[in-house]
Copies of this chain bind each other. A is one copy, B any other.
Amino acid sequence: MPIAAPHQRPPPQQDGSDRIVIQQSDVASEQIRQVLSQLVDNSPADWILLHLAMGTMKMGGHRYGAFLDAATTAAKLAIYASFIEQGENIRKTGFLYHVEPKRVKAIVQEIQTAVADGQSLKVLNAKEPYYLIALPFLWQEEFPCDPQTSRVRIAGLTPSERKTIEDGLPPNAPMARILDQVEFNELLEKLHYLSQEELPVAQRMSFSDALMQHIKFRLLHSGTVIQVDSPLVDIPLFALVSESYAPKDERERAFAMLDDVARYFSILQAWVRSEEGAMRGIEVFDIDLNRRQEALQELDVLLRTWADKYHQEDGHPMVLQFAAGTREYD
């Protein structure tokens, strides 16, 4: 029985041959670290971009094109902000950013149109690409199943063969039909068109084999769907194994990280503008590793006690963020 045992996620397969290696080896990790350190050097802005690219694409599953579009949108918004500050002077804004005046004009118009029409620009505006979030719902809606009927409807199988395939699924797999390749592909196509309806026409993407492969790969990679290769049938089957897209462990932490960094950035922006009540600080120190755990626990308690001491209902809303770890620079 090649179906994975419960709780043991199989390496998702593509065409039965390529296996996605989810755990990177230490060698690969060290190789990546060296290349990045050599190329990025010690420029903080580049490290922020790199951490962000890793967080959104490598961990989060956003497309390469989506990340580049979002970066371009951010750059356009910075230009727009200067345009307003410079008294809506296109020429001065162009000089500041080294952009041709007609390009500045087009950028300003694009943003003004989006604001007026309530449209969105090309951003990474979901925490996760739509297909990871929406697929479990659409699958259960389109291919529901109840405890009395088998999840497997493939022709030519006996009831006991169907049960054998079904028993190989993880115990928490939702009550939804197991699909063959054609059904699964059609579901992905439907999912794609539904997601596009919410976008402005200019931002819609056409569906292609390449996009379908990308979506399928990400669904398998994230463990939302598993491929079932049974000797009882000669075609690959696909099973939904997650009720909803629930990031966990490292992925969940990666999302929390982006939330933390965005808020931290926002507090520091207030500090840059010298707003009252905004504060930032760094403590650099060396520690006896035997006392590190004790120190971090004490820190956690210290800060909670401090916040409790000053908390007052209906007061001014405040947030304190902190992070501690190994110092990797001098």
Contacts and interface: CB of A to CB of B under 8 A. Distances in A.
Copies in the complex: 2
Contacts of A163: none
Interface in A252-296: 253-254, 256-289, 291-293, 295-296
A226 B81 CA distance: 25
Interface in A48-91: 48-65, 67-68, 70-75, 77-82, 84-87, 89, 91
B121 A80 contact: no
B321 A281 contact: yes
A314 to B, nearest CB: 7
Interface residues of A, number: 155
Nearest to A269: B51
Interface in A288-327: 288-289, 291-293, 295-296, 298-300, 302-304, 306-327
Contact of A282 (B70, B276, B277, B321): B321
Given A44-B258, A68-B72, 5 more contacts: A41-B125, A44-B261, A49-B71, A58-B82, A302-B302
A80 B50 CA distance: 12
